[in-house]
Amino acid sequence: MKITLISLIILFSLILLTDVWAWCGSHSMKFASFLGYEMFLVSSNDMEPTINRGDIVFCKKVENVREQDIVSFYRDDSIIIHQVKRIEEENGQTIYRTGYEKGFGVDIEHLTNKDVIGKYVFKIPWIGNLLLNWDVLLLVILLLLASGLLFFIHKKKNLKLEKE
């Protein structure tokens, strides 16, 4: 029983560390491509109230991006979903200045058409939380299995004592 308890504590600690690590990576993750739509699992609350953590967002490549549109784009090795705050012309090239939906400032970097993956079209709310919180579901399942195992061991021990 002590070994089972120690194992559960170690497992819980590992799952907690994994959750903290996943929480630190607060950018969207590409989920799939389907019928011309790019699907992303949103892992931050940057774009509340329109887009929330756990939403699956569908974006479609478009030629005409306007101010207030929400776009997905690459930034380093991450995918970001922000709102277009301003459109500027710089050396004959269209530049998009983006930022959080509820924020007043703009991102330091600017975007060009080649950076934009697509424009936000619609979302499936909340369902992505099951994927983002897989570790909590795993912990619950493991705790139930461990409880069942302990109950089985306890029951078997009681039956053995009754026979003697």
Task: Sketch out the chain's domains with CATH numbers.
Answer: 2-157 (2.10.109.10)
Per-residue pLDDT tens over the stretch 91-126 = 999 999 999 887 777 888 888 888 899 999 999 898
Per-residue pLDDT tens over the stretch 140-163 = 777 778 777 777 777 777 776 676
Tokens matching residue 115: 């950076």
Question: 7: part of which helix (H) or strand (E)?
Answer: helix 2-24
Helix axes 134-163, 2-24, angle to 10 degrees: 170
Instruction: Specify the DSSP class assigned to residue 132.
Output: H
Instruction: Specify the amino acid at residue 69.
Output: D
Q: Is the pLDDT of residue 40 over 80?
A: yes
Distance between CA 18 and CA 104 in Å, rounded?
A: 33
